[in-house]
Structure 1
Amino acid sequence: MCSNYDAVTSTERLRLHYGVELPPGVNLRTDVWPAYQAPFVRRHPHADVGDDAVPAREAMVGLFGLVPHWAGEVTFGKRTYNARSETVAEKPSFRDAWRHGQHCIVPVERIYEPDWRNGGAVPTRIQRKDGLPMGIAGLWASNRKATGEELLTFTMLTVNADDHELFKHFHKPGDEKRMVVVLHEHQYDEWLTAPPEKSMDFMRQYPAHLLISTPDPDRGKRKR
């Protein structure tokens, strides 16, 4: 499960790798924890009107941790930053976003997971071996109950990783191993436009040989 990551906030990298630009005047921190603001990419709501001036995708800013439309507190998102693909269609927190196909892509430079192989949790940085950013499959939601104004939030989807050559090393011994769903670039538009009945087709492990991990023991000591 991923509770900490470095977001893609560079204007150039967002444009080059995701084809989007952040709204004007947005200034975001790179390191992200639950309930922090971060960018996510979704299908533009008017992408199908036939106007070439309307982009296919748009970048939005939301809180990391999905707050469904019926939730009355922003802090709800501190426990919904990841969604298990096996139960996402039934869990009250996620089922509306899943059933309505509210797909998004979370632009990520690198994620952090605890490596327990030496008996203690060592924060470890995981990123693509080729240096390119990752696009993580997620769901987004809109909420007006928690603040009285529209609040956008998002979550990352996860799959089992007990047999994954890299992610099987993270989290406590005996716990189920999980990993976020990292999309391939050619899947970005497919994911954003996929109907709900096709969503599970994307819930796959990303190949371990395309990733690299590096211990970063000071990560957990930094102030949030």
Structure 2
Amino acid sequence: MCTYYEVPGREQLVLHFDDVPEEEWRDKMSPLYRGPFLRAKGEAGRELVVGQWGMIPPHSKTHIPTGKDGKRLSTVNARREGMAKSWTYGGPWRKGQRCIIPAQLYV
């Protein structure tokens, strides 16, 4: 997975999604920045929302991922074969929490 990408402009997102959030985001994304992503909504729906890039473990007291020992973690990439067992990714993975990131250019 690439750790930097360019987000399509608001006008491009409006062409593909019914409801584009009013929140602002950066054009060039990297870990811990806020940007648009598509997630499931209801039984068969979807919604475009703005959120922070990176998995924040449940015990973290800030929006910067930290381990059990309080040290900063990189939670940008994960391997499929370890997702279900991971203390960081395991819960969301088992619940089926997935998203799609709109990206138009890798930097």
**Band the TM-score falls in, shorter-chain normalisation:** 0.7 to 0.9
Q: Please, which runs of 5 or more residues in structure 1 have no aligned partner?
A: 49-54, 113-224
Give 3-state SS (helix, strand or coil) of 2:91's partner: helix
The higher-RCO structure (CA 8 Å, 6+ apart) is 2
Distance in 1, Cα, partners of 2:102 & 2:94? 23
More strand by share: 1
TM-score (norm 2): 0.79
1:109-165: per-residue Cα shift (whole Å, max 9, x none)? Answer: 1223xxxxxxxxxxxxxxxxxxxxxxxxxxxxxxxxxxxxxxxxxxxxxxxxxxxxx
Q: Is 1:88 aligned to 2:88, yes or no?
A: no
Distance in 2, Cα, partners of 1:104 & 1:91? 18
Q: Please, which runs of 5 or more residues in structure 2 have no aligned partner?
A: 67-72
More helix by share: 1
TM-score (norm 1): 0.41
1:141-156 equivalent positions in 2, closer than 5 A: none
Letter in 1 for 2:5: Y
Q: Is the CA contact 2:14–2:20 (under 8 Å) kept in the aligned structure 1?
A: no
What's 2:96 paired with? 101
Query: Which 4+ residue blocks in structure 1 deviate beyond 3 angstroms?
Result: none
Report the structure number with the largest CA radius of gyration: 1
RMSD: 2.1
Deviation at 1:20, TM superposition (A): 4.1
